[in-house]
Structure 1
Amino acid sequence: MSDKIINELEELLHANVVTTETAENIREYFHQKKEESHNRLSSIFGILGAILVGLGIILVFAHNWDNLSRLTKIILSFLPLIVGQLLCGYSILKKSESTVWKETSSVFLFFAIGANISLVAQVYNIPGDLDSFIITWMLLSLPLVYLLQSSIVSLLYIVGITYYCCNSNYFTYPSTQSFLYWLLLLGIVPHYYQLVKTKALSNFTLFHNWFISISIVICLDTISHKNGYLLYLSYMSLFTIFYFIGKTSFFDKQKLKNNSFLIVGKLGILYLLLLYSFKWFWNKSFYKTDSISETLLSIEFIIACALTLIAALLFYKKNSRTNFKEVSLLELVFLMNIFPLISAYEFSIVANVIVLFIGIFEVKRGIKLNHLGLLNFGLLLITILIICRFFDTDLSFVLRGILFITIGLGFFLANYFILKKRNRNEK
């Protein structure tokens, strides 16, 4: 398409449709766009090549490992590390402007560090567990993120510390409370901040948005001890914080796929609301300790209060600019955190009403904006709510069938009328 436009520029110039300066600007724009596309493909293939070469070297070593002398094993253990460091040094000194070189060499060195640690430990029978290995590997690899501005190593680092957190808290027994993950996560914050400021629309930033938000959601549960049920309050506030981050002017202007915080926050809030809508959820106690004072001093309660306070501050910051005239029901849901702490009554009816109103609001907004995605999202939310009630109510099968038929007709008619309206407007 771009080549076709460039080829027609001469005709447009002769017809005085565009000026010479405009034509040059158009050529420069498409040239830069083509270069960016070429660099992106080169980076992808370079990174994949570095990963495959690194894994291939490890497999070759592993196949002949038992037949090698100790000296040979040590030399081979350090060889990928030395090669990786030489490549990184060359990238910094000679190819400082090449993203392909920096990303490829840093990824190769990242895996070389892990291989070197494990191979040397095996040669000298150095004891250790998987958690200490991952922590050592990640800490030694973190400088690569800043020395070579490597976003791929940054993403691998996030995956590594997330796996460490899951392994120490979910995958092993007995599990241990580990807050080291949160300190390790802070190590990547400066690089992420730089990406957001300088490359807001790049794929690297997009992946960081998703990796960081999902990693935090996965690892928040690891702080639980005796009052794990209180983490539902923490998650509600965390999702609300994500939602408000996604609603900031910076993220709100971007495409939806780039706004992981808005998607994760909104879906997380709705998931918890649907969970709250079940009666059995409220039959369980939020307090798992012997005394209220022990509960109030528990780490789960402190984290829940801190996140709720942050959510309240973000709520005030967002809506104070409009004098609270554009407050949506979804933004107020985190206030439900107060009720389990002051009352023991069931809150399922309130949750059902809130989900229903949010669904109706999304349908109404979809019709107003002529947006099929919003319309179907609202209808889908109402459908899921009805399905949830299908399992914990005593409604007859006839009534349940009528409800599903009604929702199905609603899907069909709403989409039909919007498509009809679009066709009429196009004419």
Structure 2
Amino acid sequence: MSSKIEKDLEELVTKQVITSEVQLDIQRYYVAKKVAQPNTLLVVFGVLGSILTGLGIILILAHNWDDFSRTTKTIWAFAPLVAGQVLAAFALFKKKNDAWRETAATFLFFAIGASISLVSQIYNIPGAIDSFLLTWIILAAPLLYLLKSHATALLYIILATSYGCMIGYDINKPPYWALLALAGVLPHYVSLLKTKPNGNITGIFHWILPLSFMFLLGAFLNSGFSIGLLTHVCLFGLFYNLGKLPYFENQKLRRNGYLIIGSLGTIISLLIASFSYVWDDFIPDYISNNDLGITSIISLAAAGIVGYLFTKNKLKPFNLFQFAFLVFGGLYIFGFFQPEIASVLTNILILVLGLLAVIIGSRQEKFSILNYGLLIITTLISCRFFDTEIPFVVRGLLFIAIGAGFFGANYFMYKKQSKSNGK
């Protein structure tokens, strides 16, 4: 327990605010809490140590690999796997702390991949990289729940995402196994939401899971650019509204990956659609039932979250970011008939979103949101320099005006905060 808390407790006892028995109970609570908390630094260095140790062993073996016999090579191929299993069993049955479990699980995770690749190389077993990754994913899956390793879960998500992107983008097959692998991580994630709602590791999962689904989405689509853009806008709308749920909205902004990814993804997608030439070839010749089904499911899920927030009276004050995917869906349909007007309306939508972010930032007195809105407007104006013939003098004046707007908005925000703080 910190010395400040000790002094405060002594002061409260002296002034008879609390009794000495209450002081003792509080001290015991903080001591028990400190014991129960894992040493995060020790866990991080344990994971890094296991990774570096594994890489060092691989380098040493690679240097002398050609001098070994096949039997020796086979022994070395299984040695990291056996060592990792022994270390994991020791950490599991001896009920070691988080640092032990994370180190053992991480080492065993990489040992599985190393053993598979070495055995294949020694005995010339043919196989593509995608089958190797899938085998690694299947064999590593039990580590998530046997050792309850957060680092291994993160590595597992990265491995599954890499496999899915390879299958979807290189081989042009829907990576259903990758989706199933990610579904296997969800119970671990739900457990973190319940046990460590404000933990840093939970915040990392709030980022890596939506990023994973974002990268994988395109691997399931095959009807061209325009339907893919619409589907991604719907996905970002789903993420943004998930981030507005009470559980996530009460988190610090840096931990709310759903909200930030949803907002940035929506703006970037709309900026792509703001170019007039995009709408010239925007109408696809063919939309597969698969792509139409995926887009419908994601949009309905996002609309369902909006409906839930409405029933909980969480849509006030009005926030256009929560409905941007619906508006763009309407513009997408309208673009089939009037692509030029749809392009103009998309620009107006981005401008309104930027102004809304400025208003929200000003109302909540948050410089980050205020400058985010100004950045949206600045980027929109910059994009229009590429597809409109604006004289350089006008461009220069516009940038001067934008710079003045940045300075003025931040200055008035500072004065507002100073006034509210009584300075």
| One-letter identity of the residue aligned with 2:101 | K
1:160 deviation in Å?
0.6
Paired with 1:49 and 1:176, the residues of 2 have a C-alpha distance of 37
Structure 2 CA distance, aligned partners of 1:111 and 1:412? 50
TM alignment of 1:394-409, pairs within 5 A: 394-409=389-404
Closer, same or farther in 2 for the Cα pair 1:339/1:384, shift >3 Å?
closer
Q: Aligned ranges for residues 25-424 of structure 1 at < 5 Å?
A: 26-28=26-28, 30-31=30-31, 34-35=34-35, 39-95=39-95, 98-170=97-169, 172=170, 175-289=172-286, 295=287, 297-322=288-313, 326-335=317-326, 336-341=328-333, 343-346=336-339, 347-424=342-419
Q: What is the rounded CA distance, in whole Å, between the counterparts of 2:331 and 2:351 in structure 1?
A: 20
| Contact 1:13–1:20 (8 Å) recurs in 2 | yes
Distance, in Å, in 1 between the alignment partners of 2:243 and 2:249 is 6
In structure 2, give the amino acid aligned to 1:141.
Answer: A
Across the aligned residues of Structure 1 and Structure 2, the Cα RMSD in angstroms comes to: 2.2
- Do the aligned partners of 1:54 and 1:111 also contact (CA within 8 Å) in 2? yes
Q: Distance in 2 between matches of 1:221 and 1:269?
A: 16
Q: Which runs of 5+ in 2 are unaligned?
A: none
AA aligned to 1:305 is: S
Whole-Å separation in 1 of the counterparts to 2:205 and 2:213: 12
* Shift of residue 176, structure 1, vs aligned partner: 3.9
Would the alpha carbon gap of residues 362 and 225 (structure 1) be closer, same or farther in structure 2, given more than 3 Å must change?
Answer: closer
Q: Distance in 2 between matches of 1:222 and 1:314?
A: 25
Percent identity between the aligned chains? 42
Q: Match for 1:6: what amino acid?
A: E
Tell me if structure 1 keeps the 8 A contact 2:320–2:356: no
Higher mean C-alpha deviation, range 221-230 or range 22-31? 22-31
**Aligned mates of 1:32, 1:265 — CA distance in 2:** 39
Aligned pairs, number? 418
DSSP-derived class of the 1:126 partner: coil
- Offset of 1:340 from its aligned partner? 2.7
Q: Secondary structure at the match of 2:124?
A: coil
Q: Compared with structure 1, are the counterparts of its residues 53 and 178 closer, same or farther at alpha carbon in structure 2 (3 Å cutoff)? A: same
Report the alpha carbon displacement of residue 179 of structure 1 after superposing the two structures with TM.
2.8
Cα distance in 1 for partners of 2:225, 2:192 equals 35
Displacement of 1:370: 2.3
Question: For the structure 1 residues 38 and 183, does the alpha-carbon distance in structure 2 shift closer, same or farther, using more than 3 Å as the test?
Answer: closer
Per-residue CA deviations over 1:328-383 (Å, capped at 9, x if unaligned) read 22222212224434633121111111111122222222222222222212111111
Question: Which is further off, 11-20 or 394-403?
Answer: 11-20
How far apart are 1:77 and its partner, in Å?
1.4
Q: CA deviation at 1:109?
A: 0.8
User: For residues 32 and 381 of structure 1, what CA distance do their matches in structure 2 show?
Assistant: 48
Cα distance in 2, alignment partners of residues 65 and 265 from structure 1: 48
Query: Deviations along 1:381-422, whole A, 9 cap, x unmatched?
Result: 111111111221222223222222222111112211222233
1:292 corresponds to which residue?
none
C-alpha distance in structure 2 between counterparts of 1:29 and 1:52, whole Å? 38
Local SS of the residue matching 2:142? helix
- Per-residue CA deviations over 1:134-167 (Å, capped at 9, x if unaligned) read 1101110010001111111110001111111223
CA 1:323–1:111 in structure 2 vs 1: closer, same or farther (change >3 Å)?
closer
The code of the aligned residue for 1:265 comes to G
CA distance 1:212–1:324, change in 2 (3 Å): closer
Cα displacement (A) at 1:114: 0.9
CA distance in 2, matches of 1:341, 1:418: 40
Maintained 8 Å contact 1:319/1:326: no
Unmatched runs of 5 consecutive residues or more in structure 1: 290-294
In structure 2, what is the Cα distance between the partners aligned to 1:421 and 1:146?
51
CA distance in structure 1 between the partners assigned to 2:314 and 2:189 by the alignment = 32
In terms of mean alpha carbon deviation, does 47-56 or 223-232 score higher?
223-232
* Structure 1 residue 101: Cα displacement: 1.4
User: So what's the TM-score if we normalise by structure 1?
Assistant: 0.91
Give me the whole-angstrom Cα distance separating, in 2, the residues matched to 1:327 and 1:4.
43
- TM-score normalized with structure 2 length: 0.92
Further displaced range: 140-149 or 160-169: 160-169
The CA distance in 2 between the partners of 1:403 and 1:372, in whole Å, is 22
Q: Please say which of residues 179-188 and 240-249 is displaced more in the overlay.
A: 179-188
